[in-house]
Structure 1
């Protein structure tokens, strides 16, 4: 007896993708529905920020240093040392900063969200909420997703500043660059839309991390092992989607916004 097309195992990834997008749409719709869970939002915001702010600040220093050292070495080979500062700062702000924040949120906050929702699911707490007429998405998922978005946007500014300062220090101290050349090249190449795209990336990445974590937490296999597998899957899937979204957003930005001086 043949397997129906709709339930064919080969189409399982497509079905899961559709469910993920359906959850994302439900979350966006529930954001504007009352009552809004402000207390839950504040608790989740504080938890996510507390577990990511220090690692984000510490990780941004070596990231900024590596980018500054690599760019400085390359520009020295090309005889364009005067552009080291601008190239380093743009790389940190546009690419490294939002990715660092999103990866840390997915690894720390996202895994906690997935584990929390997954444990509630296998203990049938979510089913009990639905029986009482309470939407788990509006009550639990929306505050967590909004919290990840807010933390990602705010932490992105911190990581950008720390990464730029780290790159400045290592370029000036280790590569004997001049502070004036570093700052002048930054002013010559950077523009305000570079900061805008960085914050937009952080917002989108935070939303992806929150939705994927919630999706896997709401759909675990039975038992504690199923919850653990869901946490691992949420982190891996989030990483893949983040890099894909970064590619798409970067390509759109470079096509829409002309480079400074072009």
Structure 2
């Protein structure tokens, strides 16, 4: 009987993915004991909100304005300028908001998480927790998973509001579209399922970003260089997973609920 030889790089990648899912599932498994990780959760929420709120607004405002400018020029040639608002807000809700929130969480918050957990590893704090009978996954990963997922969901709403405001400035004030026409297109195209899926994607992307950051920090090389590499790897891997998950979820959603024109 012949055995299939798995290449070394592929085997290493599969082991990394398996370890990542084990850490995330172990962190979620301890979620029921809220009392033990609640204050760490509050601290992480405050930290993530502090470092991501302003950047996400600064990203969403010009993004909404740029989309409104580009779509508005095309709509003006077609004689449908009133549809610009609908296109801008629908795009923000369905795609831009969860991805922007996840990228900010992974870039600003995830890098800090990976650096913090990696620093604890090279100082042997994780080993000390295990010696004292404290599970480091339950102590460190669980609150960070829930904090990142909650803040990411809130940031998605902030992206929608800020992006819609940026598009409003360009479309209404500069292209002379009435405010009623700007918002009417969005109301007619959006469905409640769009918002539910968007918030779910933002929650899931935040959870994955925090899980990747904690995994990279807990398994980094025991040196300052290893921590730096873990931070870089956490950001890159989180970005890739976010885009892959977004494609899969969006495809399944459009198959189940085709867009309404």
TM bin (shorter chain): over 0.9
CA contact (8 A) 1:212 1:238 kept: yes
CA contact (8 A) 1:63 1:96 kept: no
Q: Secondary structure at the match of 2:36?
A: coil
| Structure 1 residue 80 displacement after superposition | 2.8
Q: Gapped runs of 5+ residues in structure 2?
A: none
| Structure 1 residue 9 displacement after superposition | 4.2
Say if 2:58 is the partner of 1:77: no
Name the counterpart of 2:95.
Answer: 95
Q: CA RMSD in A?
A: 1.8
Q: Over residues 209-255 of structure 1, what are the superposed CA-to-partner deviations in whole Å (9 max), with x where a residue is unaligned?
A: 10000000001012100000000110011111111111111112111
Instruction: Tell me the distance in 2 between the aligned counterparts of 1:158 and 1:9.
Output: 40
| Structure 1 residue 175 displacement after superposition | 2.4
Structure 1 stretches of at least 4 aligned residues deviating more than 6 Å after TM superposition = none
| Structure 1 residue 109 displacement after superposition | 0.9
CA contact (8 A) 1:67 1:92 kept: no
Instruction: Tell me the distance in 2 between the aligned counterparts of 1:35 and 1:136.
Output: 16
TM-score, normalised relative to structure 2: 0.93
Name the counterpart of 1:126.
Answer: 126
Instruction: Give aligned pairs, total.
Output: 258
Instruction: Tell me the distance in 1 between the aligned counterparts of 2:259 and 2:9.
Output: 47
Quickly say closer, same or farther: Cα 1:130–1:71, change in 2 above 3 A.
Answer: same
CA contact (8 A) 1:153 1:199 kept: yes
Instruction: Tell me the distance in 2 between the aligned counterparts of 1:6 and 1:139.
Output: 35
Q: Secondary structure at the match of 2:12?
A: helix
Instruction: Tell me the distance in 2 between the aligned counterparts of 1:79 and 1:35.
Output: 59
Task: Indicate the larger mover: 41-50 or 183-192.
Answer: 183-192
Name the counterpart of 2:152.
Answer: 152
Name the counterpart of 1:168.
Answer: 168
Equivalent residues in 2 for 1:101-112, closer than 5 Å: 101-112=101-112
Instruction: Tell me the distance in 2 between the aligned counterparts of 1:161 and 1:55.
Output: 14
Name the counterpart of 2:246.
Answer: 246
Name the counterpart of 1:200.
Answer: 200
| Structure 1 residue 100 displacement after superposition | 1.2
| Structure 1 residue 134 displacement after superposition | 0.3
Name the counterpart of 1:178.
Answer: 178
| Structure 1 residue 147 displacement after superposition | 0.7
Equivalent residues in 2 for 1:46-65, closer than 5 Å: 46-65=46-65
Name the counterpart of 1:22.
Answer: 22
